[in-house]
Structure 1
Amino acid sequence: MAKGLGVGPALIRASTAVNEQYERISSELGLTTQQARLLFILHRQPTNMLGLGSALRLTKSTMTGVIARMEASGLVVRVPDPGDRRNFVVTPTDLGADLAEDFEQRLRTEVRRMLNVLDPAERDTLATLLTKVIAAGED
């Protein structure tokens, strides 16, 4: 049990605990964490390779390889971007969408379980504080 941690170590431990669930669930679904994240993003909004690379902070060549492997596994399809023929829009297949939904549901369940130790007001306060931390990290 983590008691008396300072704010930095507590944030790191909480982040690690969520990441461990992310990795476990990805693995149980036969996905890498990168594939799970991509499917999660694409399931919400199919996008082009540039958008995906930016969201995942991957170079274009790395992104191309990841998408090629996912396409070969039947998780996504690439079609020419009607707005820019030099680019492709990546969309999950039915299998990819099903895995994305399953992943999201399982992760939500685990995060809710972890947050159940807090009352609603504490959860609201935590959300407000973490939003500030996230914004500072994105600057």
Structure 2
Amino acid sequence: MARTKVLAAGPALIRAATAVTEEYQRIGSDLGLTMQQARLLFILHRRPTNMLGLGSALRLTKSTMTGVIARMETAGLVVRVPDESDRRNFVVTPTDHGVQVAEEFERRLRTEVRRMLQVLEPAERDTLGALLTAVIAGHED
């Protein structure tokens, strides 16, 4: 496969992020999830947590988070139970159906990302991983 013109780092990162986001949205849509729901289910599948933590992780207001969770409950993807350590809050956990959807989402996203990275040699993928890790770490500081 022929390689295209080399982009500067900024535009290349933006285009790569856009390509991955498009796949994220497409796969989520195929599974009946909005972008927020897909992201939330992905997080919850790894570790159920309270709504306060979820809102912070997703940078959503409490009222927005409540609406997203309510729609996901109605769809049978998650359940809310009172938080044992703080009865004013709720812990959100995926249902069995939610776990299945999350696993399918993750499987399909991994497949698409692998497909995207096939144009690179293994050493190039390792280098890209190291460089993106540095970018992420710099952003999170």
Unaligned runs of 5+ in 1: none
Counterpart pick for 2:46 among 44, 47, 51: 44
The range that moved more, 101-110 or 126-135, is 126-135
Counterpart pick for 1:134 among 133, 136, 141: 136
Question: Partners in 1 of 2:25 and 2:5 — Cα distance?
Answer: 25
Specify the alignment match of 1:13 in structure 2.
Answer: 15
Question: Partners in 2 of 1:4 and 1:120 — Cα distance?
Answer: 19
Root-mean-square deviation over aligned CA pairs: 1.0
Deviation at 1:2, TM superposition (A): 4.2
Alignment pair present for 1:99 and 2:87? no
Question: Partners in 2 of 1:11 and 1:45 — Cα distance?
Answer: 29
Unaligned runs of 5+ in 2: none
**Matched residue count:** 139
Deviation at 1:76, TM superposition (A): 0.5
Specify the alignment match of 1:89 in structure 2.
Answer: 91
Counterpart pick for 2:31 among 29, 32, 57: 29
- What pairs with 1:62-73 in structure 2 (closer than 5 Å)? 62-73=64-75
Render the CA deviation track for 1:41-81: whole Å, top value 9, x for unaligned: 00110000011001100011111111011111111000011
Could you tell me the percent identity over the aligned residues?
A: 78
Question: Partners in 1 of 2:130 and 2:60 — Cα distance?
Answer: 29
Question: Partners in 2 of 1:42 and 1:21 — Cα distance?
Answer: 20
Question: Partners in 1 of 2:32 and 2:8 — Cα distance?
Answer: 36
Alignment pair present for 1:111 and 2:104? no
Equivalent AA in structure 1 for residue 51 of structure 2? M
Deviation at 1:116, TM superposition (A): 1.1
SS across alignment from 1:31: coil
Deviation at 1:4, TM superposition (A): 2.1
TM-score by length of 2: 0.95
Counterpart pick for 1:78 among 67, 77, 80: 80
